A and B are shown apart, each in its own frame.
Chain A
């Protein structure tokens, strides 16, 4: 396998590759799934939302420029600052960085595409439609106005009766589908399809950053999704999760929100730091100092950032010892950051630095970010936090960290990768003007704002009295913000103009070390004419002829004989080639599914519940059709794999990216479930007026019987999938239908228990939680049965057999997940309180 047959890439092969990988023409480009196309769409859309968010910021600064102004009313101001935060976080920062990762990761890891291309397309459409829906509320003047943090009870139906909060809860949750999709897809793609020989220890640092970011999305977003669902249920159906009188607690919202909200900051920071770690070695002309230590820093950041959420809640009256845990953790996160900063510093120190435009933005990043980091450590100190929390000091800190830590590296990265996208170089002159204006404007705006906060100006006030010492500070901040706006406009103009006026870029213009610079500029849709083999951390420095050899077809999969989009599947740690992956091509399913989901979102907003139900059913059907129309298996009798390397196809194996994707999705699902359990546990122990009935609402014996049925179904499924993997499929079809039967019996029993349960879900938070958990179980049980049924149908059609034992191995983890969740909920919700009841 190491001795690869040398094949010359004929023009015919290249043409055929281009044909296989091309998007459909005209309107057909809406069916595009290719990562380059989707990545660029993400970034362009994100930039549009950035401009919108920026205009909102300008309006805010105009209103605050002078004391006692009435350009904006308190209501409009509330909408503006809520939308500014939400747009910048959810519609700009995360999607743009996801887009960058979607665009770059396959190119850096030597692949032709991400592994679930249709999922990225779905993500994009959910993002686009969700963003448009949210923007619509702003145009209509009914935008959410309780802050991007949506604290209850201010955001509840009692104090925010209009549809503003619903727009936020439903719209943002819709947009989050895109983040989850990107998180799952990037994780699996980085782990399962890298260039041959690109072991974990040779992976570009950017991929490490994106891997950790993607995993953080997988665990970090579910708490917010859960919280949004609960709050929407409270608003729409009166289920009182956050209402004190019924045994709920508004603090639960804050916990769930910040359980997402703090990791979110690092989800934004890590990819940006990844850009810095990519650029600094290139412009220093030497490998990064302390590669292993940077990896340590990245992983450490990923974990510790989940242990700091309460530092957003230091003033809510939590015991000081508990605050101290979070205070220490918040400060400790400075350690991995310092490791990275000093690794960059040492790289510059030992290298020969070429000071080009991207480096200017990197230097701006360093100054601003270190400053923001230092105020962050200050804010982690509890007594200081008590004084400046919710003042303009925090506004300043947060912009130093987010603009410094995300926006500056992003612009550096855009300038750096621009030649790759367009084949042209940016202008150094306009770019420098843009930088200095942005940098000066930014510091004028936000450096002073620290003092404004210390002088006592709280956040989110739409106006202020004259003569409090805040006047000149606010005026200068507003002036600074306009200077910054001019700078940003100049940068965007520069980026735009260079597509026409930029100088043609030479090959690998920055003398970079990573694989994306081995591509044509702009890259072909298939990226690599032949798949590269990597023997070091800096493939292009180590082997400058690599681009020519890739183009000449000396790598893998150079011939396009199969007529499909193909890529290697590699092992996670040592990147051995283990299988051939057939990737799906252009598809309309993502657009259709996203449209159906948008319909669900809109009809929920308008409270047309029958229509919502219909649209949800439609979305489910579309998604199931999508799963049927599986890229790898359109023809059940396809030829066996790559003849050259005699690699098995994914569908001929028992493990592959699809299974990894299932497991990662279940991890996210598990995070959601754990957040739900946390919510229940939290309400149980901390809600001021929590009350639980002495007897559980459900008969325990029937629940146990129901669980027994589920266990039998899982046992059946496990047995058949193990037998299939061993090459026996004689009873497969019957076994699957038997499993469907047992599963359906379980589902029906659970459903009837649910219908008969006397749940007072509008007057008791306890019953409302039980209701949600039962609905969660029912949904999963139903889905498991449907998936098994589809497997039975696919066996009948010949898609699944002992030659193709893959798909049941993908479904199996879902059944196991469901079973564990079922027993866990039954144990915790129904049996545990019976024993502990008398204690409380």
Chain B
């Protein structure tokens, strides 16, 4: 509700997350945004004060202090904090071996997505069905040029390269329909290369899987 007021919602909005990966990144963003704004204001304020002030004959701040604190301490400290927080976030998105994970194969084509559920003989186009609160391991590859798989509200993006298979860990925390799109320029149809991820409650998903496996 608050989000829609501030204009942060939307079908592709990474600031309106519905999956653990996207949520952590959104949190990272707000944190970095706050700190960066503070630093920008600080530097700008110092800069304009430095221009306005009259130079004094006996400076109270030694020249080296500027370089040590501003040039070395400030960036090194910020980087250290950022990495300490950021690296574990990245680590939690890794597709480490997991027996519970659902595996889905997605192949990018100019300009559609071919989806296959291994062991279930289900073939879909531009549509994925997943259970909520279950890690889904997407095996991404491409049949022609490079594409990039991206569902902004659920998680991060990963490229689909011809000849390679990349594994993306995706998880939805709420049932619903989430939109995805190609993020790597792939030719004329790039702007319209979109798809949907339909997240079901776990029980509903089991039924869906059963029905559709039986169809074939």
Binding site for B on A (CB under 8 A): 74-75, 78, 146-147, 151, 153-154, 159, 244-245, 249-251, 289-290, 293, 297, 315-317, 320, 323-324, 327-328, 331-332, 334-335, 337-343, 345-346, 348-353, 355, 359, 363, 366-367, 370-371, 374-375, 377-378, 381-384, 386-391, 451, 454-464, 468-470, 687-689
Contacts and interface: CB of A to CB of B under 8 A. Distances in A.
A688 B61 CA distance: 59
Contact of B14 (A244, A349, A456): A456
A154 B51 contact: no
B168 to A, nearest CB: 9
B25 A345 contact: no
Given A153-B144, A249-B163, A391 B183 contact: yes
For chain A, what secondary structure do more than half of its interface residues adopt (helix, strand, loop), or is it mixed? helix
Contact of B12 (A327, A338, A455): A455
A290 B63 CA distance: 7
Interface residues of B, number: 80
B186 to A, nearest CB: 6
B157 A387 contact: yes
Interface in B127-180: 144-146, 148, 150, 152, 156-159, 161-164, 166
Interface stretch (B74-82, B97-105, B208-216): B74-82
B40 A374 contact: yes
B163 A462 contact: no
Given A335-B72, A338-B71, A464-B191, A370 B43 contact: yes
Given A74-B190, A353-B51, A370-B40, 17 more contacts: A74-B188, A147-B185, A153-B162, A316-B166, A331-B82, A345-B43, A345-B47, A345-B70, A366-B43, A370-B43, A371-B40, A378-B36, A387-B25, A387-B29, A459-B185, A468-B12, A469-B13
Nearest to B191: A461
A23 B43 CA distance: 48
A317 B161 contact: yes
Interface of B: 7-15, 21-22, 24-25, 28-29, 32, 36, 39-40, 43-44, 46-48, 50-51, 53-55, 59, 61, 63-64, 66-67, 69-72, 74-76, 78-79, 82-83, 86-87, 89-91, 93-94, 110, 144-146, 148, 150, 152, 156-159, 161-164, 166, 181-191
A394 to B, nearest CB: 10
A455 B10 contact: yes
A355 B51 CA distance: 8
B28 A383 contact: yes
Given A151-B185, A389-B183, A469-B9, A454 B15 contact: yes
B29 A384 contact: yes
B146 A386 contact: no
B63 A345 contact: no
A384 B25 contact: yes
B154 to A, nearest CB: 11
A484 B177 CA distance: 40
B14 A341 contact: no
A250 B72 CA distance: 39
Contacts of B190: 74, 460-461
A439 B52 CA distance: 21
A688 B164 contact: yes
- Listed residue (B43, B67, B94) with the most chain A CB atoms within 10 angstroms of its CB: B67
Given A377-B78, A377-B82, A343 B66 contact: yes
Contacts of B36: 374-375, 377-378
Contacts of B181: 456, 458
Contacts of B66: 289-290, 342-343, 345-346, 349
A250 B161 contact: yes
B161 A316 contact: yes
Given A159-B145, A251-B161, A352 B54 contact: yes
B79 A377 contact: yes
Contact of B67 (A342, A348, A375, A459): A342
18 contacts: A146-B187, A250-B146, A317-B159, A328-B79, A335-B75, A342-B70, A343-B66, A352-B55, A374-B39, A381-B86, A383-B21, A390-B184, A455-B13, A456-B181, A458-B150, A459-B185, A460-B190, A468-B10
